[in-house]
Structure 1
Amino acid sequence: MLKKTLAALALGTALLSAGQAMAADYTIDKEGQHAFIDFKISHLGYSFITGTFKDWSGTFSFDAAKPEDSKISIDIKTASVDTNHAERNKHISSKDFLDVATYPDAKFVSTSVKSTGKNADGKDTADVTGDLTLHGVTKPIVIKAVFNGEGKDPWGGYRAGFNGTTTIKRSDFGKMMDLGPQSDTVTFDISFEGVKAK
């Protein structure tokens, strides 16, 4: 009886360990430039300005069988903002807006992941809640995420890919130049691949 109990405990421990080991760590593929944080904001209500952050990095852990255990951390170099217009980039980087000299980094760290089913394409979706630190202020935000898939790549690695969207209000993140209520909301579109750690 004792042997059977010990064997059952050993098997249970092995299964638990195997389950825990399934969550894998990934580095977002900045080197291969398979990582994008794009944004859109209304310009005075007359048109939209679109842009991107060209320098950012991050890591995440992910197990498709247990998405609620996933975690992600992102670091954005704010001076890398690019709206395809040099003078506007300078203005956005100035004290009127991002003040990159004082706040060179923006960070997002997840605090929870909640599965939300599947989208119209049959891909798994989730709400990723986390803390965004921007312009010296930290606020919780929710990213609507889509798991695009995972698998081997042609170079011997293993990848997982996601995209997500979120909106923030500039007025929530410290005092910036006021361009009116129509220019307060910023929409972000995020897409990236992560390479599994070996």
Structure 2
Amino acid sequence: MKKLLATSLLATGLLTGNSVYAEDYAIDTEGMHAFVQFRIQHLGYSWLYGRFDKFSGNFSYDEAKPEEAKAEVAIDTTSINSNHAERDKHLRSEDFLDVEKFPEAKFVSTKFIPGADGAGKLEGDLTLHGVTKPITLDVKQIGAGDDPWGGFRRGFEGSTKFALKDFDIKKDLGPASQEVEMILAVEGVRK
């Protein structure tokens, strides 16, 4: 699901690019210049951070028609990594992601609302834990330009929050831990 968010961010940032036609981008997961991260409060005392190590995605963008930007991201939920093997095993279980039943999360954008200075809101459908719900990502372009290998890249950041129960994750971690925040930092390589 975090992957999904990352791709969404890329699409919104493209709205401020220098192209005059639709460009297709792939999220750079090979060089690991993209991250799908999350955080949730632990008992109200601290933050628990984690990420998904395996995801893929792409987006397209037309500077003349930013409202038509599109993004799609697929996340391998089995790749969850909170830097603690036993906790990761629990997060993969039926209490949370139930990865045996739902090994993939997916985000597909439905609308982009451009804002000022490369920011905007990317709306789309997130499928997680077998449930599909609309979410909105707050996104901002970090930069764009030629890379040292002859390609062209765009980088974005973004975030969203949603309630675990909205995706039928019923494990109750207490009142401070009802929502998870997804944090995305992504870099796309023009195809």
Percent identity reads 50
TM-score under structure 2 length normalisation: 0.87
Which is further off, 71-80 or 175-184? Answer: 175-184
Q: Aligned residue for 1:102?
A: 101
Residue 71 of structure 2 is aligned to residue 72 of structure 1: yes
* Corresponding position: 1:164 with 2:158: yes
**Structure 2 contact 110–124 (Cα < 8 Å) conserved:** yes
Deviating beyond 2 angstroms after TM superposition, the runs of 4 or more aligned structure 1 residues are 63-67
- Aligned positions of 1:45-194 closer than 5 A: 45-118=44-117, 124-194=118-188
Cα pair 2:20 2:63 within 8 Å, conserved? no
CA contact (8 A) 2:21 2:63 kept: no
Give, in angstroms, the shift of residue 184 of structure 1. 1.0
Q: Which structure's relative contact order is higher, taking Cα pairs within 8 Å and 6+ residues apart? A: 2
Which stretch of the first structure deviates more once superposed, 71-80 or 39-48?
39-48
1:65 Cα deviation from its structure 2 partner? 4.2
Question: CA separation in 2, counterparts of 1:35 and 1:73?
Answer: 14
- Give the Cα–Cα distance (whole angstroms) in 1 for the partners of residues 48 and 85 of structure 2: 13
RMSD: 1.4
> Which runs of no fewer than 5 residues in structure 1 stay unpaired?
1-19, 119-123
2:106 is matched by which residue type in structure 1?
K
- Are the aligned partners of 2:20 and 2:64 in contact in 1 as well (CA < 8 Å)? no
Deviation at 1:35, TM superposition (A): 0.8
5+ residue gaps in structure 2? 1-18
